[in-house]
């Protein structure tokens, strides 16, 4: 765009005084648009005057604004009846028949600037007496994020297009915007300045005749005033956007690795009780009492209520449902053509896969190498966090469906081949049984042992006697479980050594807090580099660790320094993570995308749970088991593999979408915890759970309508009514003002574009 | 070109701010405000100003807004408020109190029709409701005049020969929401024009009751004093005009502004922006060879009866346009001035543009045509603008 030294008198315009009329809808910013125009001409040294035709000032209503430009001071105080330039902020305002006055008084050659998505071509045959300019200001302003979801504000964008249409130099536009403090919109204005298309008037074309003033409306007789006169104004025609009821994705549900409908089951608990909530929960989650205790609860970490008065304690509610669910499960009927599946591994992923497949009517053989089902839930999680009877009840519900479970059956590569030959599909969910070794001098000394093995022994009823100072190496839940179990086995003192900082510990933060409360010490940024002692370990050498460059996951890679010190100890428990059994996948096979491949041939053997993902939480394992089961079934039946696509980010409900003012401040209900001094020496469950289910009342129900009537009450036109399970909007009168959507406390509504050409 | 692109609401707020700051070496500034369309933007801008000595108090009603001004003015602060329409009606009791206590409060009204039914637009009926409240009343015709008149109002109100509150009227939306170039003086200029406020007596540390009881004889004397103070307004205002012109370089308009009236056969008398529209109609009529003239009444209280009588001398046909209607009577301005013409003159009242109708030059021409055809004045003519 070249800079022009002087303002050219606009083509087709009358000489000064220049009169401009802006037509828009309430909320589009027409008055400010007219003011921007005035500012541009004032920058050129002209006298200007600008004002709005103020009416009922309601969003969506047609509104007008005016600007006059002259060389002499302006004394004309009237509205503009013979405009030289017409700006139409919404082309849908153009005459569609009778009664419209947008073009009223504009003579041949007048500039008609339209905000339209239809382009100049749509106006080739119409309005040919005018010099027509067209720009899709709504699209441009929307791209630049001007306005809100309920209403795009196009005024500044249209002003940019206008400047180009009348050959004003860009520098004038910039100065005018700055003078009104609207620099932020210059980007959109600049885009419109470049994008506007202009068409000359057709010589000899005749402009529409000025409107004949309508006769004054008759005044109602006195008696008429007491009657409810129906409005003759179909305000629905003012609408450019319309409200719609649509559920959005709650952050808790989006965050759940198991794929639970979190907001759904919490709301079901609130409105329908335990059984109603369990129906939703059991669709994705066979182990609610387990997850209600040991899940790190990413749902609560994502909860929008955290930005208000504290996240909803979803985990405790899940436990409430699981513990009080009377339904012990029932035998699932077989499908018409039942398929035969084998699941290897009775941990959470295997149980989840078996439950999903058996519930869908297929035969499931579940094989577990250990003595009982539950995997790490049974062998690795201490009783004070997860009592065995709780685990047994959840497992029993899975088995009740008719799963053929066999324990003490270890499967290796040839075994997998044999299972594959006998079954339609095999799901390997054997977890990560091999503890990671520490490659440091003295790691094989007596008293240095694998933490998971220690926990398993305790879980089996052994009570290994510990004494003195026990050092636990690691930062995950296993490390914390080891530390707290060591205390309960008689250790006088327990120290956790972890190579990163406390915030980076993968363990559940509340578990870390509880361990510290029980007296466990935490040494961060320490890595054992050697163990010493005569026969049994007596010292561990801990090197200091500094955070280095971030790795692929964004975590800073620990860098071991040369600074080291010795710590006297009587036992060391290593909780450094685990690896898979390398002999499980048959020799010669490979794994691609969670599926075993025999050369290039995909087999019907699938990997699930930690074996597939290594995510390491019960919730991840449960989600993986169910999803892999669905994929395996789809592959067997030749059906399309179900897509697993996360909801798009723009569909998530964020704190900005929640109207906090709608909700009373109500702090989270605490769970009942045994006192640290009482609990630290015994294996009784530490957390007694909630006293009642009232925590569910705190759920915002993000993205899900609760029939709270806020839309109905806030509609300025009173056109929202209850209908069936939800609401209906009277389209004849809805102006699309967006108040209902803005007022909705939980983003259960949205505005959608009305077609421009109505 | 000098000046800022601002509305009359903002012009009024800036004038009040400058005047308020000019009193910083004395008792400062205090303003009680309550919003009502179309005056709201004035109080909003005022609320965003910073005063080194002073405060804008947001209260719960117009009545309290004026109460704040009364208390503050009685203790020597420079005071300001703004309102419209039914807000003024609610304020009325304290409006009268401010005047009868002889406190130099300045108020800007954005004229709006009284309701219900609710109407947001220009109509002089709200401030004319306060006609007999004892306040000086100015009616403005453009943004610059609003700003200048507010500044003049303080100097006039605070003059010891006057000591009366002043109401500066600007039509809602037509002025309040119209943006034009307006020259805003510097603080130094305003400081020179507006000396710190000194009252002959003011509240100090000792608590006192204001008002008290007026027994009949004293009441007569108080009313007479008040009336005489009104009578001195024009003389003091002339000095204010001189001082303003000296310090700010332009002369505020006279209480009455005649336009091509001297040789006119037919006069159109009106207030506010309609009077400027009438001047445009006069130019058009003169172009057609018709000897039309116009008179703008800028100061409504005290009544500029003498100035108008001088202009009316020798005129046989006078039209009075009111943007208000005293129900059961006619236009208020018409009622005021119809006795000022020479005996036998036709002084006909017309009511146009009530409730915000857009009064255009063609309406004024229609008034002139109607008047030219008359041989005697009749009942007031109520006209519809059609928009």
Here the tokens at position B183 are 């020259």
**What is the C-alpha end-to-end distance of chain A, expressed in Å?**
36
Nearest chain B alpha carbon to A179: B5
Does residue B387 belong to any structural domain of this protein?
no
8 A C-beta contact, residue A587 and residue A557: no
Which among A720, A470, A712 has a CA at the least distance from the CA of A570? Answer: A470
Contact (CB, 8 A) for A476 and A498? no
* Host domain of residue B163: 4-248
- State the CATH architecture for A340-433+580-637: 3-Layer(bba) Sandwich (3.50)
CATH code where residue B78 lies: 3.40.50.970
CA dihedral A157, A159, A160, A163 (to 10 degrees): 160
- Distance between CA A424 and CA A422 in Å, rounded? 7
The verdict on B385 touching A (C-beta cutoff 8 Å) is no
The three-class DSSP label of residue B194 is coil
State which of B248, B275, B298 marks the end of a domain: B248
Instruction: Specify the pLDDT at position A203.
Output: 87
Report the Cα B136 to chain-centroid distance in Å. 7
For A537-643, where are the E strands, in sequence order? Answer: 539-550, 556-568, 571-574, 578-579, 589-592, 595-598, 601-607
What tokens were used for A280?
Answer: 């939703």
In the structure, what pLDDT confidence band is assigned to residue A150 with cuts at 50, 70 and 90? low
Instruction: Report CB contact under 8 Å: B179, A50.
Output: yes
Question: Does the pLDDT value for residue A755 go beyond 60?
Answer: no
pLDDT digits (tens, 9 = 90+) for A47-71: 999 999 877 656 667 789 999 999 9
Q: Is B2's Cβ below 8 Å from some Cβ in A?
A: no
Contact B325/B355 with Cβ under 8 angstroms?
no
What is the model's pLDDT at position A757?
A: 32
Which residues on chain A are in Cβ contact (under 8 Å) with B181? Answer: 42, 47-48
Shared-domain flag, residues B107 and B206: yes
Co-location of B126 and B42 in the same domain = yes
Look at A583 and A265; give whichever has higher pLDDT: A265
Sign of CA dihedral A297, A298, A299, A303: positive
In b/e form, how buried is each residue of B178-201, taking b as 16+ CB within 10 angstroms?
Answer: bbbbbbbbeeebbbebbeebebee
**Does residue A578 register a pLDDT over 80?**
yes
Do A744 and A304 touch, CB atoms closer than 8 A? no
Domain boundary among B218, B248, B278: B248
Encode chain B (387 residues) as per-residue pLDDT tens digits.
568 999 999 999 999 999 999 999 999 999 999 999 999 999 999 999 999 999 999 999 999 999 999 999 999 999 999 999 999 999 999 999 999 999 999 999 999 999 998 899 999 999 999 999 999 999 999 999 999 999 999 999 999 999 999 999 999 999 999 999 999 999 999 999 999 999 999 999 888 888 889 999 999 999 999 999 999 999 999 999 999 999 999 999 999 999 999 999 999 999 999 999 999 999 999 999 999 999 999 999 999 999 999 999 999 999 999 999 999 999 999 999 999 999 999 999 999 999 999 999 999 999 999 999 999 999 999 998 876
Residues B37 and B164 in one domain: yes
Residue B121 located in a structural domain? yes
Superfamily of domain A462-577: FAD/NAD(P)-binding domain (3.50.50.60)
Does residue B127 sit in the same domain as residue B205?
A: yes
Residues B271 and B231 in one domain: no
- Start and end residues for every CATH 3.30.70.20 domain found in chain A: 238-247+705-753
Residue B253 lies in a domain: no
Cβ-contact A468, A495 below 8 angstroms: no
Q: State the smallest CA–CA distance between residue A196 and chain B in angstroms.
A: 27
Nearest to B324 by CA among B274, B288, B364: B274
Query: Which comes out higher in pLDDT, residue B228 or A200?
Result: B228
pLDDT tens for each residue of B289-312 = 999 999 999 999 999 999 999 999
The predicted pLDDT at position B196 comes to: 97
Nearest 5°: the CA angle B368, B371, B374 is 155
Tell me which residues of chain A, numbers 170 to 199, contact chain B at a CB-CB cutoff of 8 Å.
179-180
Q: Is A711 on the interface with B (CB under 8 A)?
A: no
SS3 A207: coil
| Shortest CA distance from A49: residue in chain B | B180
A394-413 pLDDT per residue, tens? 999 999 999 999 999 999 99
- pLDDT tens for residues A341-359? 999 999 999 999 999 999 9
Distance CA(B309)–CA(B297), nearest Å, equals 12
Q: Assess whether B182 and B113 both reside in one domain.
A: yes
Question: Between A74, A179, A216, which is nearest B180 by CB?
Answer: A74
Alpha-carbon span B375 to A602, nearest angstrom: 110
Statement to judge: residues B243 and B268 lie in one domain: no
Q: How far is C-alpha B31 from the chain's CA centre?
A: 19
Give yes or no: residues B217 and B273 share one domain.
Answer: no
Q: What percent of chain B has pLDDT over 90?
A: 95
Cβ <8 Å between B173 and A79: no
* Interacting residues of B228 by C-beta distance below 8 A, sequence separation 6+: none
Angle at Cα B98 formed by Cα B92 and Cα B100, nearest 5°? 100
| B55 lies in some domain | yes
Query: How confident is residue A312, by pLDDT bands cut at 50, 70 and 90?
Result: very high
Query: Could you tell me the sign of the dihedral formed by the alpha carbons of B134, B140, B143, B144, in that order?
Result: negative
The ipTM estimated for the assembled molecules is 0.91
For A77, which of B38, B120, B277 is closest by C-beta distance? B277
Q: Model pTM greater than 0.80?
A: no
Chain A interface includes B323 (CB < 8 A): no
User: Which pLDDT does position A222 carry in this prediction?
Assistant: 65
In degrees, rounded to 5, the angle at the alpha carbon of residue A743 between the alpha carbons of residues A739 and A746 is: 135
Q: Which of B11, B35, B179 to mutate to test the interface with A (most CBs of A within 10 A)?
A: B179
Residue A185 to residue A164: CA distance in whole angstroms: 16
Q: Could B142 and A75 be called an inter-chain contact, meaning their C-beta atoms sit closer than 8 Å?
A: yes
Q: Do B276 and A45 touch (CB under 8 A)?
A: no
Smallest Cα–Cα separation from A515: which of A557, A486, A556, A540? A486
Topology of domain A18-199, CATH: Pyruvate-ferredoxin Oxidoreductase; domain 3 (3.40.920)
| Domain limits, CATH 3.50.50.60, in chain A | 340-433+580-637, 462-577
Tally of domains in chain B: 2
Of A732, A748, A743, nearest in space to A239 by CA: A732
Q: Which chain B residues are closer than 8 Å to A216 by Cβ?
A: 384, 386
Phi, psi of B185 (to 5 degrees): -70, 160
Q: Does domain A238-247+705-753 have CATH number 3.30.70.20?
A: yes
Three-class secondary structure of residue A113 per DSSP: strand
Could you report the per-residue pLDDT of A696-705, keeping only the tens digit for each? 999 999 999 9
Q: How confident is the model at residue A626 (pLDDT cuts 50, 70, 90)?
A: very high
If asked whether residues B307 and B175 sit together in one domain, one would say no
User: What's residue A247's pLDDT?
Assistant: 94
**Is a pLDDT exceeding 80 seen at residue A125?**
no
By the CB < 8 Å criterion, does A52 face chain B? Answer: yes
Task: Please say which residue of B226, B248, B270 terminates a domain.
Answer: B248
B279 to A75: CB separation less than 8 angstroms, yes or no: yes
Query: DSSP characters for A323-350?
Result: HH------PPPPPSS--EEEEE--SHHH
Calculate Rg over the CA atoms of chain B.
20
- B241 and B119, same structural domain? yes
Residue A535 in this model has a pLDDT that exceeds 70: yes
Please write the tens of the pLDDT for every residue from B117-160.
Answer: 889 999 999 999 999 999 999 999 999 999 999 999 999 999 99
H-assigned helices in A401-463: 413-422, 451-459
CA distance A555 to B374: 95
Given this model, what pLDDT does residue A58 score?
Answer: 63
β-bridge partners, A22? A65, A87
Which of A51, A74, A179 has the CB atom closest to B177's CB atom? A51
Chain B residues whose CB is inside 8 A of the A76 CB are 277, 280
Residues B64 and B113 in one domain: yes
The per-residue pLDDT for B368 is: 97
A-contacting residues in B 88-127 (Cβ below 8 Å): 120-121
**CATH number for position B279:** 3.40.50.920
Which residue carries 């008040």 as its tokens?
Answer: B226
| Higher-pLDDT residue of B73, A121 | B73
Per-residue pLDDT reduced to its tens digit, A409-447 = 999 999 999 999 999 999 999 999 888 888 888 888 888
Q: Give the Å distances, CA to CA, from A677 to A1, A510, A665, A681, B65.
A: 77, 17, 33, 8, 64
Do B302 and B163 share a structural domain?
A: no
| Residue A302: alpha-carbon gap to chain centroid | 9
> Are the Cβ atoms of B178 and A51 closer than 8 angstroms?
yes
């Amino acid at each position: 765009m070249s800079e022009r030294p002087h303002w050219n008198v606009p083509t087709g315009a009358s000489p000064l005084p220049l009169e401009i009329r802006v037509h828009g809808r309430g909320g589009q910013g027409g008055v400010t648009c007219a003011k921007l125009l005035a500012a541009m001409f004032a920058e050129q040294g002209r006298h200007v005057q600008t004002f709005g035709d103020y009416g009922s000032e309601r969003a969506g209503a047609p509104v007008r604004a005016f600007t006059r430009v002259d060389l002499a001071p302006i004394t004309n105080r009237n509205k503009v009846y013979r405009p030289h330039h017409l700006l139409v902020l919404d082309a849908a305002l153009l005459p569609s028949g009778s009664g419209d006055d947008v073009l009223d008084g504009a003579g041949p050659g007048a500039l008609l600037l339209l905000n339209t998505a239809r382009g100049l071509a749509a106006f080739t045959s119409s309005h040919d007496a005018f010099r027509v300019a067209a720009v899709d200001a709504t699209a441009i302003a929307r791209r630049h994020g001007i306005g809100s979801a309920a209403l795009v504000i196009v005024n500044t964008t249209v002003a940019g297009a206008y400047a180009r249409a009348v050959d004003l130099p860009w520098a004038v536009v910039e100065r005018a915007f700055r003078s009104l403090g609207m620099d932020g919109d210059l980007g959109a204005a600049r885009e419109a300045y470049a994008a506007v298309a202009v068409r000359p008037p057709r010589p000899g074309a005749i402009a529409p005749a000025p409107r004949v003033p309508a006769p004054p409306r008759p005044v109602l007789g006195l008696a008429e005033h007491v009657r409810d006169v129906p409005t003759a104004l179909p305000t629905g025609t003012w609408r450019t956007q319309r409200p719609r009821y649509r559920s959005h994705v709650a952050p808790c549900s989006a965050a759940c690795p198991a794929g639970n409908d979190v907001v759904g089951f919490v709301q079901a608990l609130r409105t329908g009780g335990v059984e109603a909530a369990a129906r939703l929960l059991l669709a994705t989650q066979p182990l609610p009492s387990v997850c209600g205790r040991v899940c790190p609860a990413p749902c609560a970490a994502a909860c929008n209520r955290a930005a208000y008065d504290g996240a909803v304690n979803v985990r405790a509610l899940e436990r409430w449902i699981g513990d009080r669910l009377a339904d012990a499960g029932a035998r699932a009927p077989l499908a018409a053509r039942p398929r035969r599946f084998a699941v290897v591994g009775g941990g959470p992923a295997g149980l989840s896969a078996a439950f999903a497949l058996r519930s869908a009517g297929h035969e499931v053989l579940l094989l577990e190498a250990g003595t009982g089902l539950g995997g790490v839930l049974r062998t690795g999680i201490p009783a004070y966090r997860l009592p065995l009877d709780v685990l047994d009840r959840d497992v029993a519900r899975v088995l009740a469906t008719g799963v053929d479970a066999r324990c003490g059956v270890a499967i290796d590569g040839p075994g997998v081949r044999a299972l594959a030959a006998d079954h339609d599909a095999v799901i390997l969910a054997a977890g990560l049984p091999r503890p990671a070794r520490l490659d440091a001098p003295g790691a094989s000394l007596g008293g240095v042992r694998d933490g998971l093995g220690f926990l398993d022994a305790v879980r089996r009823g052994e009570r290994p006697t510990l004494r003195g100072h026990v050092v636990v190496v690691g930062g995950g839940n296993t490390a914390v479980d080891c530390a707290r179990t060591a205390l309960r086995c008689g250790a006088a003192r327990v120290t956790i050594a972890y190579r990163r900082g406390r915030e980076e510990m993968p363990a559940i933060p509340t578990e870390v807090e509880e361990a510290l409360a029980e007296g466990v010490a935490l040494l961060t940024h320490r890595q054992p580099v050697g163990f010493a002692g005569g026969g049994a370990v007596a010292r561990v050498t801990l090197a200091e660790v500094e955070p280095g460059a971030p790795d692929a996951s964004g975590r800073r890679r620990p860098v071991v320094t040369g600074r080291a010190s010795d710590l006297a100890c009587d036992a060391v428990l290593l909780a450094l993570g685990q690896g898979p059994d390398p002999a499980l996948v048959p020799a010669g096979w490979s794994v691609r995308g969670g599926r075993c491949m025999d050369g290039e041939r995909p087999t019907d053997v699938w990997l699930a749970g930690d074996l597939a993902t290594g995510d390491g939480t019960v919730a991840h394992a449960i989600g993986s088991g169910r999803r892999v089961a669905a994929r395996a079934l789809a592959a067997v039946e030749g059906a399309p593999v179900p897509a697993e696509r996360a909801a798009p980010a723009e569909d998530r409900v964020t704190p900005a979408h929640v109207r906090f003012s709608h909700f009373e401040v109500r702090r989270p209900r605490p769970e009942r915890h045994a006192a640290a001094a009482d609990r630290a020496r015994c294996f009784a469950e530490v957390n007694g759970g909630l006293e009642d289910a009232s925590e569910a009342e705190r759920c915002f129900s993000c993205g899900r309508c609760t029939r709270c009537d806020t839309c109905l009450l806030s509609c300025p036109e009173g056109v929202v009514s209850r209908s069936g399970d939800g609401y209906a909007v009277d389209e004849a009168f809805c102006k699309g003002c967006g108040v209902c959507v803005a007022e909705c406390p939980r983003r259960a509504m949205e505005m959608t574009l009305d077609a421009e050409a109505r | 070109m000098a000046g800022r692109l601002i509305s009359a609401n903002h012009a009024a707020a800036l004038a009040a701010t400058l005047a308020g700051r000019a009193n910083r070496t004395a008792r400062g500034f205090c303003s009680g405000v309550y919003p009502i369309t179309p005056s709201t933007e004035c109080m909003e801008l005022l609320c965003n100003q910073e005063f080194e000595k002073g405060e804008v108090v947001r209260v719960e009603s117009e009545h309290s807004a004026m109460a704040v001004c009364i208390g503050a003015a009685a203790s020597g602060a420079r005071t300001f408020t703004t309102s419209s329409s039914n807000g003024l009606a609610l304020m009325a009791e304290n409006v009268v109190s401010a005047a009868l206590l002889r406190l130099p409060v300045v108020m800007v009204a954005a004229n709006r029709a009284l309701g219900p039914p609710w109407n947001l637009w220009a109509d002089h009926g709200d401030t004319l409701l306060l006609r007999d409240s004892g306040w000086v009343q100015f009616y403005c015709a453009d943004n610059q005049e609003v700003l200048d008149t507010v500044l003049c109002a303080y100097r006039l109100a605070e003059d010891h020969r006057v000591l009366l509150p002043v109401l500066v009227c600007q039509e809602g939306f037509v002025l309040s929401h119209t943006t034009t170039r307006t020259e805003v003086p510097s603080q130094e200029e305003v400081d020179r024009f507006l000396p710190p406020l000194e009252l002959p007596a003011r509240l100090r540390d000792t608590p006192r009751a204001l008002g008290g009881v007026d027994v009949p004889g004293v009441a007569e004397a108080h009313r007479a004093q008040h009336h005489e103070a009104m009578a001195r307004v024009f003389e003091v205002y002339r000095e204010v005009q001189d001082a303003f012109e000296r310090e700010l370089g332009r002369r505020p308009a006279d209480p009455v502004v005649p336009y091509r009236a001297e040789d006119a056969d037919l006069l159109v008398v009106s207030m506010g922006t309609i009077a400027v529209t009438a001047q445009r109609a006069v130019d058009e009529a003169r172009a057609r060879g018709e000897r039309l003239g116009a008179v703008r009444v800028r100061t409504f209280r005290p009544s500029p009866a003498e100035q108008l009588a001088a202009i009316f001398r020798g005129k046989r046909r006078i039209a009075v346009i009111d943007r208000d209607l005293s129900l059961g009577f006619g236009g208020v301005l018409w009622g005021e001035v119809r006795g000022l013409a020479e005996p036998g003159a036709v002084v006909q009242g017309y009511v146009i543009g009530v409730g915000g109708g857009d009064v255009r030059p063609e309406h004024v021409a229609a008034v002139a045509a109607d008047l030219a055809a008359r041989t005697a004045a009749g009942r007031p003519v109520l006209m519809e603008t059609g928009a």
